[in-house]
Every structure is written in C-alpha cells, then in structure tokens.
Amino acid sequence: MKVAITGGAGFLGAALARRLLAAAHLTVAGEQYGPLDELIIADLVRPPADVAADPRVRVATGDLISTLPALADAELIFHLAGVVSSAAEADFDLGMSTNVDATRALLELCRSRPVCPVLVFSSSLAVFGSDPAIGPIGAVDDDTLPRPQSSYGIQKFIGEQLVADYTRKGFVRGRSVRLMTVAVRPGAPNAAASSFLSGIIREPLAGIRAACPVPPDTPVALSSPRRTLDGIQLAAAATDEAWGSRTAMNLPALTTSPREMVAALARVAGDHVAALVDWTDVPSIAAIVTSWPATFATPRALALGLKAERSFDDIVLAYRDGA
C-alpha cells in the first residue's frame, strides 16, 4: 500500500505520518492491508527529521502542483495542504491557487489513474458562517447549508464540491471531513485566524505571555489533535456504504470559550500560568472567528464511532503530557 500526504510536513500531516508508519496494518475503504510500503510526503518544506528518517518515506518538496508526479501511484491520498484562513483572506490569489487550483489538479491526477485512489480531503468549519443578510447561524447539524463568509471558507467549500463531483463521476473515491479548530497545536503560531486558541495555552505553559484577540466569552468549536486524526483516519478506513453521503462530514466538536479555556489552564497548571494571558481586541481576527459556528450536532460522525473530548481540561492535560 502506497500512501501520500499533501501538507505532510505540517503539524497534523507529520502526526498522521507517525501514526501510519507505526501501524501494524492499514484499513482503506473497508479492506485491510499490511504495514504501508511507502509514504510520500509532499510539502513546501521537508517533514520533521524523525519522519523523514523512516526508509519507507519519500519526500517531495515544492508547491502541490509541482509535486504531483510524485503522487501518481499513491493508492490512498490525504489532502491536507492548504493556505489557512487569515493568509487566504490577505492574499486572495495565493488562496485560490493553492486551495482551489491545486486541489483540482490533484483530482485530475486521480482521474488519470486506471484504478481511482481513495482521497481524504480536509475541509473546515469555516464553510459555515453568519450571513449578514440572514443573521447568526446558530447550531449546525449534518444538513446545515454552508454559507462561508471568508475567502478560505469559500475555497474549502469549492474543494468539497469538486471532491463530491469527481467521486460521483467515478474518478476518485473521495471523502471530505470538516475539521474543527485544532487545539492545542505545538510549535510556532501559524497564519490561521484561530491560531491564538492554541497560543493562549501553549505559550503560558512555556512561561511566555500570550494574547487573546477576541472577547473572553466568544464561543468556539474545538477538537484535540488526537480526535482530529481519528476523524481523518476513519474517513480513509470506512467502507463506501458506511461513509454514505458524498457531502462533507462534520467532525465532532467541543464547544467552549477563551475564558473557559484559560480557566482550565488554571486548574491544570495554576493561576500564575493562566495570568500570562493578556486580553486584547483585534477586530480583524474577531470578525473572522465570530462568524464561525460554535455548536455542532454530528450524528453521522457519532454513528461511525467518532467523539469529541469530554472537557478542555482533558485537552490541556494531553498537551502538557505529550499525549
């Protein structure tokens, strides 16, 4: 079994790579295989040293379109590469070329194969938003109509529809999953509007001050790294019948707020750590984050065995303990 991960040098991509490399067997569309034979990592930069050192890993560096030839014989593709929310909003052309044009090129590669591969596309909760002409979006369920209010959300929704239509035509066996904001991410902040939701935990635990740019009681939908990876892997493993609709699947979310997150940080690490969070106001960030829904009902994901974390305390503990 040959597997490819676009965006495989990023946090989620590298974490997924480690899971796949450590697995005794792989399940793909209901069929069980032995350990993977080859893992192709496609990204702008090389993956972490521990991933790149595995003899089964082949690295292709460059933009997605330039690395497509390296993915040509992959039987399973995890498409995680993309320009994130604030960056896609700031640079429209970059967002379109990476999130839309490169996704279409990848799907055309799949179409050219004699046997179509399984493709898992990582979409986002940003496909939902509060339309100014309609009002707040409220709770989201499996049948809620996406109304993206950012370039990133629109680009991800376009990607979902492309995957659905290429699947309908039999060009690829596609499964799209809408990821919640992932927290806590290790490492340096990225360009996502939601990056602070990891920073207000990660930095204080390292003894560094962090800023929260939205009001403390702003509701947010979060998922831990481990629950997010569970959803991505299950999308690849499920049979076509179990997966069901070609419509993207919302992953389960924990609804919380920055105030509740910092309170959990205080319970886990102490008030002196939580005091390192500064409450600021950045309207451009708040405008994006507050347009996203925060409450999700996900019966489709729950029926497949996926679940959200029980509390944000559990997420902080898992990050602190490296779990």
Q: Which residues contact 79 (CB under 8 A, 6 or more apart)?
A: 6, 7, 103, 106, 119, 120, 121, 122
Neighbours of 5 (CB within 10 A): 31
SS (H, E, C) 114-166: CCCCEEEEEEEHHHCCCCCCCCCCCCECCCCCCCCCCHHHHHHHHHHHHHHHH
CA atoms of 95 and 105, how far apart (whole Å): 15
Helix residue spans in 143-246 (DSSP H): 151-168, 196-205, 225-237, 240-243
> Strand 26-28 vs strand 31-33: parallel, antiparallel, or unpaired?
antiparallel
The tokens describing 183, both together, are: 């927290």
The catalytic residue positions are 152
CA atoms of 33 and 48, how far apart (whole Å): 26
CA atoms of 157 and 147, how far apart (whole Å): 9
Write down the residue that tokens 């595995």 correspond to: 54
CA atoms of 5 and 103, how far apart (whole Å): 13
CA atoms of 225 and 319, how far apart (whole Å): 9
